[in-house]
Every structure is written in C-alpha cells, then in structure tokens.
C-alpha cells in the first residue's frame, strides 16, 4: 500500500501541470453536470391520463427527458448559450427559448433556475402515442442577474402546460406555456 502510494506520488510529481489542470477541469465538469442534474427533481403522475395508457418505459423516458430539458434550459438561460437547447427542444418551445437567450444577451441579463421540483401530471396521451400533454407544477428558486448584480431572488411556483412529442431516441418539448392555474 505504502509502496503504491509512494509510486503514485513519484509519478504525479513528473506529470506536467497542464495535464493536472486538464484532469481537474474534467473532474469539475463531471461534478458540475451531476450536480445540475440532481437539482432537477421530476415526478410524473399518469393515473388519470387518456385515451392511451402510458407504458412504464415511456413514463421513464418522459421523466428522464423532461428533467434533461429543464437542466438544459437552465444552462442556456444562465450562460446565454444556445447549444443546450438543440437536443431536448423543438418547435415553438425551441424558438421561444432561442429568442429569450438572444434577448438576454442583448440586455445583459441572466436567469438562474435553482433547486427545481416538478410535479407532472399527464392529462392527455394521444391514441397513436405521438403527443403527450403534461401539467407541470414547478417550484424553483428564480434568480435574475443584471450582469453580476442580483436583482431578483425568489422561490416561485408556476404552472406549465407542456406538449411533448417523440423523436427517434427521446421525447422532446414542443410547447411550454405558463398559466395562472390549470
């Protein structure tokens, strides 16, 4: 054990500082990605959906992809970048988010969605399984920043009507609209 440790130490002392920095950076990114995922909690209630019943594999896919969509949206609106929107969003939802990012970038604003908790209810699943409507009661900490200045920091609860459609390998958010109540 001690020999291995000693060997390890002697080896690490010969590694270039840039390699160590790259390793730390990769570890940091991995940790960041996991942390971002863990802050988005999603539960789906599909008891009252119809006319088609949701298969359990579909249910798992929707939860996974909806969580991914919010993780990506949060990243896009925090860092004003469009790349995270390419996978999980399509149609009107993608267009609106792109507009939001462009608008934020222009005005120097950013939004942070922290500690998210989404309670989803599937209210409609089309007979052919090609569209699902969800009601999301979303609770999160919303922060708005003007440059680095925090101008809003509030715990909010919002209601979203969401349309998701399947693509080749995932469910995509096609439409997302906040409403005052369901």
Partner 1 sequence: MRRLLICVAVCLVQACSAQSTDISAPASVVAGDEATLSTTGSGRASFYLLGPGISRKSDVALGQAIQLHAQDLRNAGAYLAILCSDTCHRATFYVNAAKPTSLTFVVHPSRVPVKLNDAVSGVAFPFDQFHNLALRPVTVDFQLTEGNASLFSRAVRAQDGIAWFRTTSGKSAGALQVVAAIDDLSVRRVVQQVASDPCNLRIKGQRTAAGILVETEPVHDCSGNPVSDGTMVTFTATDASGKSTVDAPIKQGVARAQMTASTAAVISVASGVVMGNELRVGARP
Binding site for partner 1 (CB under 8 A): 51, 92, 95-96, 99-100, 103-104, 106-109, 111, 123-124, 126-128, 130-131, 133, 135, 142, 144, 146, 151-152, 154, 158, 161, 163, 175, 177-180, 182
Question: Is the CB of residue 57 less than 8 Å from the CB of residue 72?
Answer: no
Q: Name the residue nearer to partner 1 (CB basis): 36 or 123.
A: 123
Shortest distance in whole angstroms from residue 31 CB to partner 1:
29
Strand partners, 174: none
Shortest distance in whole angstroms from residue 10 CB to partner 1:
54
Q: Name the residue nearer to partner 1 (CB basis): 56 or 180.
A: 180
Q: Name the residue nearer to partner 1 (CB basis): 36 or 161.
A: 161
Residues composing the chain: 182
Q: Name the residue nearer to partner 1 (CB basis): 63 or 109.
A: 109
Shortest distance in whole angstroms from residue 15 CB to partner 1:
44
Residue 134: name the closest of 39, 40, 73, 46 by CA.
46
Shortest distance in whole angstroms from residue 97 CB to partner 1:
8
Residue 110 — φ and ψ, nearest 5°? -140, 155
Query: Which residues are CB-neighbours of 100 under 8 A, at least 6 positions away?
Result: 77
Q: Give the C-alpha separation, 115 to 2, whole Å.
A: 43
Shortest distance in whole angstroms from residue 32 CB to partner 1:
24
Q: Name the residue nearer to partner 1 (CB basis): 20 or 158.
A: 158
Q: Name the residue nearer to partner 1 (CB basis): 37 or 99.
A: 99
Question: Is the CB of residue 107 less than 8 Å from the CB of residue 99?
Answer: no
Q: Give the C-alpha separation, 69 to 33, whole Å.
A: 14
Shortest distance in whole angstroms from residue 169 CB to partner 1:
21
* Rounded alpha-carbon distances, angstroms, from residue 12 to 21, 22, 28, 118: 12, 14, 19, 44
């Amino acid at each position: 054990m001690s020999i291995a440790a000693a060997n390890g130490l002697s080896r690490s002392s010969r590694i270039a500082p840039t390699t160590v920095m790259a390793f730390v950076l990769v570890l940091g990114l991995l940790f960041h990605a996991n942390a971002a995922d863990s802050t988005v909690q999603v539960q789906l209630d599909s008891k009252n959906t119809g006319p088609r019943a949701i298969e359990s594999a579909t249910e798992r896919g929707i939860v996974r992809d909806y969580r991914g969509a919010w993780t990506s949206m949060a990243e896009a609106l925090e860092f004003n970048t469009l790349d995270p929107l390419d996978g999980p969003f399509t149609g009107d939802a993608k267009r609106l988010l792109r507009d939001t990012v462009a608008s934020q970038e222009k005005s120097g604003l950013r939004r942070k969605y922290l500690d998210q908790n989404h309670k989803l209810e599937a209210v409609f699943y089309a007979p052919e399984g090609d569209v699902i409507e969800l009601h999301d009661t979303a609770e999160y900490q919303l922060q708005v920043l003007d440059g680095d200045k925090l101008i809003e920091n509030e715990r909010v609860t919002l209601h979203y009507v969401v349309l998701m459609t399947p693509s080749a390998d995932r469910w995509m958010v096609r439409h997302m609209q906040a409403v005052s109540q369901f």
